[in-house]
Amino acid sequence: MEFVDNVDIQRSPERSTDKVDMDAPESSKEVDFLFKDTINVQLSTKSVDTIRILSADMVERANSGHVGAAMGCAPMAHVLWRYIMDYSPANPKWANRDRFVLSNGHGCALQYSMLHLVGYEVSMDDLKAFRQLNSHTPGHPEHIHTPGVEVATGPLGQGISNAVGLAVAQAHMAAVFNRPGFPVIDNFTYAICGDGCLQEGVSSEASSMAGHMGLGRLIVLYDSNNITIDGDTELSFTEDVVMRYNSYGWHTQTVEDGTDLQSIADAITRAKHVTDRPSIIKVHTVIGHGSKNQGTACVHGNPLGDEDLKYVKDKFGFDPEQTFVVPEEVAADYGSMKAVGKEKYRTWQDMFAKYKELYGELAMEFERRMAGEVPENILDLLPTFTPEEKGKATRKHSYGALNCVAPKVPELVGGSADLTPSNLTWMECSSNFSPGNPEGRYLRYGIREHGMVAVANGMAAYGGVRPFVATFLNFIGYAMGAVRLSALSQFPVLFIMTHDSIALGEDGPTHQPIETLESLRAMPNLYTFRPADGNETSGCYACALSLTKSPSVLCMTRQTVPNLPGTDKAKVALGGYTVVQPSGAQKPDLIMVATGSEVHLCTAAAQVLDSDAKDVRRVRVVSMPCQELFDEQSEDYRLSVFTPGVPVLSVEAAGPHGWHKYAHAVWGINNRFGASGTSKDCLEYFGFTVENITEQAKKVIEFYSSRPAPSLVLRPQLDMTK
């Protein structure tokens, strides 16, 4: 057995540099931390080979996939699923199950093989349908498709970052709900990641957070096979990963032989006993172990081919002519894990029943939060404003709304990427999450936007917490890979994005979002909100918190906006509604639709047009805080807002794309970035003034005075969901 334990880091009190005491003696208790069970080497070897061949058969049949990592990581997977992890295939949503994340998700044939072998609802037919349309075994893991998968992985670095979030949620839930003698939550989070994951910046951000937070129940196994698609990692990745993770504050170990099951089990057992920091175990593996092309890039993303696959089967003692075979003794051994899992789940249930007797209200709250149920009457908790009340920036209204709901929605856990004083996201009812205070609900993410969102995704996946994140709207671009996975994964992450337009002013075009709203609205299953005032901010919070399978982006102003007559927090749920309606029964001459800080400009412009003694123009003003919600309304309702035959002008201080769906004419910022200047000067420069909007409205009215304005609601609606 070859095993290297990298000596613990001692932090110097005088300086932040970490030191390693190379002469430190081994702990006298270290022997107690070795894996105690007896590993049946002969049967385990057959099991590992079965995993390899089953994975190779899947990729071969699909003629697509990544077999190399699956074959190299099979020993790690076997040790985890057969000897280490607590889980129940019959109860895949058991709250206290150990979580497993395959960060190098391209190797998912490995994960599907394990789920099948230990008894999850992943059949042999599912394995045979690997990478086929609408199968339960897609080309990268997706938890919404496959029982036993915790998070969607594939974009490298996301999985290990999600694992950090899972560990954050575990630590928080344990601190909130555990009581002496009742470890309701004490699970571990395990992840396997590869060289590619650790090259991605998001993994560095999240790993730095994990070390700072002291997440002692996070254990990562690093599949170090030194191969990427381009070839040997010597081409691009030569850093000392172990030393890097030492500097992050992780406990580190190295297993020199990735086929040595005992060494892997011992390393994991040691890691489990390190409770004050996360652990990473570097496991030296051979990609495509057993193949003629093992150890080369050839086996990374290709099927082995018929000849090589037969060679591997013969080498491991399997019939080369048979496919998708699980030897009886292997099936029986893994099959026992279903009964083991049921017993572990039953034991936990018995404990929870006693817990419920003693801590009834706490138990009910735990069940509500794990079920993802939203507290009732959230809208009633949120403030209502009148036009007489002094206006504020909507980021300040956001602060008020957040602090209205936070005491009543204790699952709200989150923070800002080092912009708390600007985003105004501090919760007065809480405290900072830290190693000494995991009950704290406020996370200091640091300047790590991408890591922040990926960690929040993991928190959402765990259950029991409703994560929120915050930064400037423009900097959500740093995190778009993780934002996309929020939407794809149906995680109800709340994004509080402030400084939402050119009106942020002097910081200039590097900070001013132009195309950002367009890209967010283009993303499936993502709701983008841009409230006009205090009432709409309240309504946006209520709507966002009611969405349990979709993330939401709340876009807030830096500048002050007035509280408007006609806004209604309840009507935000309609997505768009009339805030100014001209008197009389006849059709208006124009409809102006706007969002956020431009709504008050349109209401003022409408008043100017309506009061022109020479030529009265009747203008309806529509506020559309959420396009996605508006699109979900009935045709009759949408027609009541956008009356057929009436021209529509949209106004938004951002890129124009997407508004032609609702408007005949669009006033926005087309094909150029912002500018550095005062908020007032920037708005004037780009034409977002009452005077200019009034002039643009006149042009639209004049244009359509001699030609029909076609209905943008009544047109062919092609069903693109089929």
Say if residue 499 carries a ligand binding annotation. yes
- Output phi, psi for 246, to 5 deg: -55, -45
The answer to whether residue 23 scores a pLDDT higher than 50 is no
Q: Are 592 and 662 in contact (CB under 8 A)?
A: no
**530 is written with which tokens?**
């841009």
How far is residue 220's CA from residue 101's CA, in Å, rounded to a whole number?
Answer: 9
The answer to whether residue 706 scores a pLDDT higher than 70 is yes
pLDDT band at 15 (very low <50, low <70, confident <90, very high): very low
Calculate mean pLDDT across residues 8-26.
32
Amino acid 32: pLDDT: 59
**48 is written with which tokens?**
């590992």
Calculate mean pLDDT across residues 70-87.
99
The answer to whether residue 340 scores a pLDDT higher than 90 is yes
Question: What is the CATH topology of the domain spanning 378-561?
Answer: Rossmann fold (3.40.50)
Amino acid 18: pLDDT: 32
Instruction: Among 22-36, 260-274, 359-373, name the one with the lowest average pLDDT.
Output: 22-36
Say if residue 438 carries a ligand binding annotation. no
The answer to whether residue 411 scores a pLDDT higher than 70 is yes
Question: What is the CATH topology of the domain spanning 40-342?
Answer: Rossmann fold (3.40.50)
The residue to which tokens 């643009």 are assigned: 696
Q: Are 710 and 630 in contact (CB under 8 A)?
A: no
Say if residue 226 carries a ligand binding annotation. no
Q: Are 304 and 312 in contact (CB under 8 A)?
A: yes
pLDDT 10s digits, 121-178:
999 999 999 999 999 999 999 999 999 999 999 999 999 999 999 999 999 999 999 9
How far is residue 321's CA from residue 313's CA, in Å, rounded to a whole number?
Answer: 9
How far is residue 420's CA from residue 426's CA, in Å, rounded to a whole number?
Answer: 6
- Beta strand 560-561 pairing with 392-393: antiparallel
Where does 62-201 show beta strands of DSSP type E? 99-102, 189-194
pLDDT band at 720 (very low <50, low <70, confident <90, very high): confident
How far is residue 304's CA from residue 298's CA, in Å, rounded to a whole number?
Answer: 9
Q: Are 491 and 460 in contact (CB under 8 A)?
A: yes
- 15 or 182, higher pLDDT: 182
Say if residue 98 carries a ligand binding annotation. no
- Output phi, psi for 142, to 5 deg: -135, 120
How far is residue 172's CA from residue 461's CA, in Å, rounded to a whole number?
Answer: 14
Amino acid 523: pLDDT: 99
The answer to whether residue 459 scores a pLDDT higher than 90 is yes
Residues 6+ apart with CB under 8 A from 546: 374, 378
- Residue 421: C-alpha distances to residues 395, 404, 416, 417, 512 (Å): 11, 18, 9, 11, 18
Residue type, 657: H
Say if residue 268 carries a ligand binding annotation. no
Residue count of the chain = 722
pLDDT 10s digits, 293-320:
999 999 999 999 999 999 999 999 999 9
How far is residue 332's CA from residue 543's CA, in Å, rounded to a whole number?
Answer: 50
The residue to which tokens 């999600």 are assigned: 162
Amino acid 585: pLDDT: 75
Calculate mean pLDDT across residues 255-284.
98
Which residue from 224, 237, 269, 233 is spatially nearest to 251, judged by alpha carbons? 269
Say if residue 78 carries a ligand binding annotation. no
Say if residue 660 carries a ligand binding annotation. no
The answer to whether residue 89 scores a pLDDT higher than 80 is yes
712: number of Cβ within 10 Å:
16
Q: Which residues pair with 591 in a beta bridge?
A: 620, 648
The answer to whether residue 365 scores a pLDDT higher than 60 is yes
**197 is written with which tokens?**
């994951």
Same fold for the pair 40-342 and 574-703: yes
- Residue 663: C-alpha distances to residues 523, 581, 645 (Å): 20, 18, 12
pLDDT 10s digits, 671-694:
999 999 999 999 999 999 999 999
Amino acid 615: pLDDT: 82
Class (C level, CATH) for 574-703: alpha beta
Say if residue 558 carries a ligand binding annotation. yes
The answer to whether residue 215 scores a pLDDT higher than 60 is yes
- Residue 149: C-alpha distances to residues 143, 145, 281, 310 (Å): 5, 8, 22, 30
The answer to whether residue 324 scores a pLDDT higher than 70 is yes
Residue 411 CA from chain centroid, whole number: 16
- Output phi, psi for 219, to 5 deg: -130, 120
SS (H, E, C) 515-527: CHHHHHHCCCCCE
Amino acid 4: pLDDT: 38
SS (H, E, C) 561-586: ECCCCCCCCCHHHHCCEEEECCCCCC
Q: What is the mean pLDDT of the chain?
A: 95
Say if residue 600 carries a ligand binding annotation. no
Say if residue 422 carries a ligand binding annotation. yes
Q: Are 601 and 689 in contact (CB under 8 A)?
A: yes
Enzyme catalytic residues: 449
338: number of Cβ within 10 Å:
16
How far is residue 16's CA from residue 6's CA, in Å, rounded to a whole number?
Answer: 20
Say if residue 156 carries a ligand binding annotation. yes
How far is residue 286's CA from residue 294's CA, in Å, rounded to a whole number?
Answer: 7
- Write the DSSP symbol of residue 661: G
- Residue 609: C-alpha distances to residues 505, 588, 618 (Å): 29, 12, 7
**What is the domain partition of the chain in residue ranges?**
40-342, 378-561, 574-703
pLDDT band at 616 (very low <50, low <70, confident <90, very high): confident
The answer to whether residue 25 scores a pLDDT higher than 50 is no
Which residue from 188, 101, 97 is spatially nearest to 149, judged by alpha carbons? 101
Element (H, E) at 472: strand 466-472
